[in-house]
Amino acid sequence: ILRRDTVTLVLELADLAELHRDTLMAGRTHAQQALPITFGFKVATWVAEGVRQVERLDETAPRLFVGQLAGAVGTLAGFGPRGEAVQRAAFARLGLGVPPIAWHASRDTITEFVTLIALIGATLARIANEVVQLQRSEIGELEEPFAPGKVGSSTMPHKRNPAHAERIVAIGRLLRGLATTALETAVAAHERDMSVGRAEWVVVPEAACLVAAALHWSLVVIRGLGVNTARMKENLQRLGGLLLSEAVMLRLAETLGRHVAHDLVYEAAMAAFEGRGSFRELLLADARVRAALDAEDLDRLLDPAAYVGLAGSFVDRVVREARRLNT
Query: Residue 32 belongs to a domain with what CATH number?
Result: 1.20.200.10
- Is 82 a member of any domain? no
* Residues taking part in catalysis: 30, 153
CA-CA distance, 274 to 203, in Å (whole number)? 54
- How many residues are listed for the chain in this entry? 327
Same domain, 178 and 273: no
On whether residue 95 sits in a domain, the answer given is no
Domain boundaries, position 13 = 2-66+103-235+310-323
d(CA 190, CA 233): 63
Distance (Å, whole) CA 63 – CA 185: 17
Question: pLDDT-based confidence at 283, cuts 50/70/90?
Answer: very high
Q: pLDDT per residue over 2-34, tens digit each?
A: 999 999 999 999 999 999 999 999 999 999 999
Which whole number is the average pLDDT over 288-292? 96
| Spacing of C-alpha 84 from chain mean position | 44
**Pick from 29, 5, 171: nearest CA to 13:** 5
Record the pTM: 0.94
Q: What is the mean pLDDT of residues 158-178?
A: 95
Give the DSSP H/E element, type plus range, for residue 270: helix 258-273
Is 152's pLDDT higher than 70? no
In this structure, the answer to whether residues 264 and 316 fall within a common structural domain is: no
Three-class DSSP category at 159: coil
Residues 117 and 262 in one domain: no
**Is the pLDDT reported for residue 190 higher than 90?**
yes
- Say whether both 133 and 214 belong to one domain: yes
Q: Residues 6 or more apart from 250 whose CB is under 8 A from it? A: 261
Let me know whether 222 and 249 are in one domain: no
Q: Is 159 left (phi over 0), alpha (psi -120 to 50) or beta?
A: beta
Q: What is the pLDDT of residue 155?
A: 79
Where does the chain show beta strands of DSSP type E? Answer: 24-29, 32-38, 142-143, 226-227
- For residues 154 and 256, membership in a common domain is answered with no
| 164 and 294 housed in the same domain | no
* Amino acid 153: pLDDT: 63
For the chain, the first-to-last Cα distance in angstroms comes to 11
Show the CA angle centred on residue 89, arms to residues 83 and 90, nearest 5°.
Answer: 90
**Helices 194-223 and 108-134: crossing angle, nearest 10°?**
30
Number of domains in the chain: 2
* pLDDT, tens digit, 9 for 90 and up, residues 97-128: 999 999 999 999 999 999 999 999 999 999 99
Helix, strand, or coil (residue 152):
coil
| Domain co-membership, 144 together with 223 | yes
What does the pLDDT average to over 32-61? 98
The percentage of residues in the chain with a pLDDT greater than 90, rounded to a whole number, is 95
| Same domain as 192, residue 293 | no
Q: How confident is the model at residue 160 (pLDDT cuts 50, 70, 90)?
A: confident
For a pLDDT cut of 70, what percent of the chain falls above it? 98
Least confident piece of the model among 149-153, 208-212, 285-289, 305-309: 149-153
Cα–Cα distance for residue pair 233/141, rounded to 1 Å: 9
Structure confidence at residue 201 (pLDDT): 96
**AA identity, residue 108:** D
CA 133 to each of CA 44, 49, 137: distance values in angstroms, whole numbers, following the listed order: 18, 19, 9
| 148, pLDDT greater than 80 | no
Q: How many angstroms separate the CA atoms of 293 and 272, rounded?
A: 19
Residue 165 is which amino acid?
Answer: A
Tell me: do 118 and 204 sit in the same domain. yes
Report the distance separating Cα 168 and Cα 295, nearest Å: 48
State which amino acid sits at residue 32. Q
Q: Where are the beta strands (DSSP E) in 161-239?
A: 226-227
In a domain, 46, yes or no: yes
Please tell me the distance from the alpha carbon of residue 91 to that of residue 252, in angstroms, as a whole number. 69
Residue 28 lies in a domain: yes
Q: To the nearest 5 percent, what fractions of the chain are helix, strand and coil?
A: 65, 5, 30
Residue 193 belongs to a domain: yes
Averaged pLDDT score across all residues of the chain: 96
Report DSSP state, residue 138: T
The rounded distance, in Å, linking the Cα atoms of 306 and 295 is 16
Are 61 and 155 within one domain? Answer: yes
